[in-house]
Amino acid sequence: MRSRSSNLEFPGTRAKWSIDPLSGIFKKLRGALVFFIIFLSVPCQAPAQAQPDPYSVVFSQKITAFDYQGLAYPVQKIIPAAMPGIQEKVFPLTPGRSLAILTNLGKNRGGDLERIASVVKACYRHVENSTGMELSKDVLLYLIELDKIPFSYEFEAKYSAVSNWGEVRLVLLKKDSPLWGNQGSRELSEFLFDTLPHELGHDVLAKIEPLQHDIDGQPSFHTRWFIEGVCELLAKSFSRREFPPAWERFMELRNIGATFRNPLVRRNIFNWSQENQNTMGLESDLYGASWLLAMSWSEKMPLVRFLQVLDASKTKVDGSRLMALLKRETGLNSDGLLESAVRKELAFLRKSEPIQQPHLQAAIPQKVDIAL
């Protein structure tokens, strides 16, 4: 089987930022040892020789960590199939869709798996209600408990191309540690309340055929600020409603309150492309800026309605077409969007007024009781 994979590695310094190994969120570091962690997950199809299925999909993830001297930590291979006690639990989400959890958690942790499934189900409802679009794929989650979570590791999963997995993810847990509440697993909370709703946002936006998405190696369509903004909007509104302490942490990680102070953010946000030479700090700030922009225009026109406008477009929607549609529907041009987003960030910083959730036409699903 052939698979395509890449690895990015940056030597660690006494810098301010690293990437969270599981969610991809940039973190401010406050320890004596400072390291950068870079990961890449590559789902790809490759012919499988002498196999019943004509194709298999390979999902790979590699994290390389360096100490402050630039020395790499040893890489640990994580092979779930070789671990004792691996079991599969399948939970229905909505009609026709499911969550499969492959885990080595003990049988006495079944209640934790039920809680995870309830949050994933609520996340599906949130994304569908917020966008007016249906999620048609399933979720495959590898939930692996280790005595110690390694700084550097690599993981690979292979599954049939005819399967219906829309999201394949890995979450590592420290053995016997609590999963829930303020002292619970940050890796799990970041997956459930930030990474998953963000990625499900990408899944629904990919169904809007006129909307152009950047592709590696191709010229940018300059729609990334809008696409990532919608995904951040979905993620942050979900975490704020379901687990406010996590939402506050995510806001800090996105540097909300100081994002637009950076002139590079204001200069680059509408030309933000998939392939760039941005520093990690700037890239994280651009995610925060995209959220503030999405908060601004979605107050003028509900998200679900504007996505309907995009879906009905008779021409391809690139950056210029997107801005023209926003101007027509909300009255905001690029300068107006920036001004509104800056005002929102200042309000957030002063805490003089709450930042409102986007106006949604559909009913907000009830909060899931998971005793966080």
* Arithmetic mean of pLDDT over the chain: 82
Average pLDDT in the 187-212 region? 96
Cβ neighbours around 199 below 10 Å, total: 21
Neighbours of 320 (CB within 10 A): 12
Average the pLDDT over 306-311 and give the result: 98
Instruction: Give whichever of 35-44, 45-54, 197-206, 354-363 has the largest mean pLDDT.
Output: 197-206
The Cα 14–Cα 65 span in angstroms is 13
Please state the rounded mean pLDDT for residues 131-137.
96
Pairing verdict, β 44-47 and 55-65:
antiparallel
Residue 90 dihedral angles phi and psi, to the nearest 5°: -115, 130
CB 364 within 8 A of CB 358: no
Task: Enter the DSSP assignment of 214.
Answer: -
Query: Are 289 and 260 contacting, i.e. CB atoms less than 8 angstroms apart?
Result: yes
Q: Is the dihedral of CA 359, 360, 361, 365 positive or negative?
A: negative
Amino acid at 163: S
Query: Would you say 139 and 165 are in contact if contact means Cβ atoms under 8 Å apart?
Result: yes
Question: Per-residue pLDDT averaged across 340-346, rounded?
Answer: 94
Query: Any residues with CB less than 8 A from the CB of 361 and at least 6 apart, and which?
Result: 132, 302, 304, 305
Q: How confident is the model at residue 301 (pLDDT cuts 50, 70, 90)?
A: very high
Q: Which pLDDT value is given to residue 359?
A: 41
Delimit the domains of the chain by residue range: 17-205, 224-350
Cα 55 from chain centre: 27
Instruction: In whole angstroms, give the CA distance from residue 309 to residue 326.
Output: 10
Sorting pLDDT into bands at 50, 70 and 90, what band is 43? low
| Cα 176 from chain centre | 26
pLDDT given at position 53: 56
Q: Where are the alpha helices (DSSP H) in the chain?
A: 110-131, 186-190, 196-205, 224-242, 244-253, 263-268, 280-298, 303-311, 319-330, 334-350
Across 235-263, average pLDDT: 92
Q: Is the pLDDT of residue 268 over 50?
A: yes
Q: Residue 45 pLDDT more than 50?
A: no
Please report how many Cα atoms fall inside a 13 Å half-sphere around the Cα of residue 343, on the Cβ side. Answer: 11
Which of 21-30, 37-46, 174-183, 233-242 is the most confident on average?
233-242
Q: How far apart are CA 329 and CA 324, in angstroms?
A: 9
Residue 25: predicted pLDDT? 39
Give the model confidence (pLDDT) of 69-124 as tens digits: 888 899 999 988 888 889 999 999 988 899 999 999 987 777 899 999 999 999 99
Higher-confidence residue of 140 and 275: namely: 140
Closest CA to 292 of 249, 236, 208: 236
